[in-house]
Amino acid sequence: MDISSLDDVWHRVTGVQPDPPRNLVLAVGAAALLTVLWRPVWRIARNTVTIAHEGGHAAVALLCGRRLSGVRLHHDTSGVTVSYGKPRGLGMVLTVMAGYITPSLVGLGGAWLLAAKHITLLLWASVLLLALLLISIRNFYGGLTVVLTGGAVFAASWTDNTDVQAGFAYLMVWFLLLAGVKPVLELGRTRARTGARDSDADQLHRLTGFPAGGWLFVFALVALGCAVAGGRWLLHV
């Protein structure tokens, strides 16, 4: 690839793209909502939320100076991120807290990029983040899930059909914004039913003394706030 080709790719990635038709934005938003609400599809799509959840744990652990051992994603859409460092303190609190709020925050960041008409940049940034996460994956299913997700995003980013590219980008962001709320509600139901004393909220309770229910409220507040703010950006309200 010569310099001119690299320059073309750079301008393609960092340049702005036209806003898609409003009907397309509304249609993929409805599709994302259906994906979240329809249980058979949600069971598959939830893997994407797990990728963001565990990726959040991993990224914040590294930013806080912890040593990342690895990330595992499982068939039941659960996951685990193992890091080493001080067992208490701000770094540990931020690492544990990151999981449930990361899908919503990533969705909010994506909505901001789409509002700024950086559709291709959003898709390529997503591919880069998935590639970085892949380095830390320690099981076959997790690696396969990340590779398939990254491949789908890359394919969408490389197409010359602007409506297909925009539709995929908006669908991805709508899904993260809407799906970020559901795992918090699921965790609340699980805690009410079985206790789930090893959940992120309960770990945060042991680390800070703040009630697990309070942490659930924080997770829900962030998720709902991101969904509202991100939705306004996507709809140009």
Q: Where are the domains of the chain?
A: 20-53+100-234
Gap between the Cα atoms of 104 and 177, Å rounded: 5
Closest CA to 202 of 224, 67, 105, 190: 190
153 membership: H or E segment, kind and range:
helix 140-158
Measured between its terminal Cα atoms, the distance across the chain in Å is: 42
Contact (Cβ atoms closer than 8 angstroms) between residue 158 and residue 171: no
> Residue 4's pLDDT band (boundaries 50, 70, 90)?
low
Residue 104 pLDDT > 80: yes
Whole-number Cα distances in Å, 102 to 25, 26, 85, 228: 23, 24, 21, 16
Cα dihedral: 96, 59, 104, 177 (round 10): -140
Residue 2 pLDDT > 50: no
Residue 223 pLDDT > 90: yes
Contact (Cβ atoms closer than 8 angstroms) between residue 169 and residue 181: no
User: Does residue 138 sit in helix, strand or coil?
Assistant: coil
Residue 93 pLDDT > 90: yes
Q: What are the structure tokens assigned to 121, written together?
A: 């940049």
Contact (Cβ atoms closer than 8 angstroms) between residue 114 and residue 127: no
Gap between the Cα atoms of 112 and 131, Å rounded: 22
Q: What is the pLDDT of residue 5?
A: 65
71 membership: H or E segment, kind and range:
strand 67-73
Residues above pLDDT 90, as percent of the chain: 84
Read off the pLDDT of each residue in 111-136 and give the average, rounded to a whole number.
96
Read off the pLDDT of each residue in 80-84 and give the average, rounded to a whole number.
95
Gap between the Cα atoms of 223 and 138, Å rounded: 28
Whole-number Cα distances in Å, 106 to 57, 188, 189: 13, 22, 24
> Residue 9's pLDDT band (boundaries 50, 70, 90)?
low
pTM of the predicted model as reported, rounded to 2 decimal places: 0.93
Q: What is the pLDDT of residue 199?
A: 92
Read off the pLDDT of each residue in 182-205 and give the average, rounded to a whole number.
89
Q: At what angle do helices 162-179 and 119-136 cross, to 10 degrees?
A: 60
User: Does residue 206 sit in helix, strand or coil?
Assistant: helix
What is the DSSP-derived secondary structure letter of residue 78? -
Please report where in the chains the tokens 């969705």 appear, as a residue: 107
Contact (Cβ atoms closer than 8 angstroms) between residue 80 and residue 110: no
> Residue 11's pLDDT band (boundaries 50, 70, 90)?
low
Read off the pLDDT of each residue in 202-231 and give the average, rounded to a whole number.
96
Q: What are the structure tokens assigned to 19, written together?
A: 């806003």
Closest CA to 33 of 236, 226, 227: 227
